[in-house]
Amino acid sequence: MIITSVELLKDLTNRTQINIQQAKKFSSLSAEKLNFRNEEKSWNILECFEHLNLYGDFYIPEISNCIENSKTHPKVDFKSGILGNYFAKSMLPKKELNVMKTFKDKNPIGDILDKTTIERFILQQEHILNLLDASRTIDLNNTKTAISISKLIKLKIGDTFRVLIYHNERHIVQANKILNLAIIV
């Protein structure tokens, strides 16, 4: 995938703003709806958001540090890496979400959660908006970040943003599906 850096950042900013709007919608729901579980081992809405918070806890400081320490200058185009593009595309929501196994340290099932989980997610998204804005001053191709599954694997920061934001979008779609089931029941 080749896209101008400006267009990539604009798209990711728009997606993040939509994610914030969606999260605000969830924050007005009752505790009963937020904790509704369709099946014993499936997540509820709050667990979807906590899962995203756990990833944000890793990626926000990682991205922030890489931006602060980058000595690169912005390039006109962003060209996705093979691995980064694969990870990003696999995170995009599809009509039927494919089930992916979650790492144990990122699985919030059974955690005691409340609306502050959603508030924390919104704060993280606002921080991501600031990072997207700050990344306009660096090369999205040559600034690299570690990923949560291995510090040895580095992705272009443009791909890291895509993976993180598409992943957020994916689980908000999941939370909406849970909400639809909670309304029916």
pTM: 0.94
Alpha carbon distance 7, 75 (integer Å): 12
Low-confidence stretches of the chain (pLDDT < 50) are: none
Alpha carbon distance 89, 162 (integer Å): 9
The domain that holds 156 is classified in CATH as 1.20.120.450
| Element at 146 (helix H, strand E) | strand 144-147
- Give the pairing type, strands 77-79 and 2-4: antiparallel
- What's the domain count of the chain? 1
Q: 185: helix, coil or strand?
A: coil
Burial class (CB in 10 A: 0-12, 13-18, 19+), 61: exposed
The pLDDT, as a whole number, for residue 100 is 67
Residue 135's domain comprises 2-184
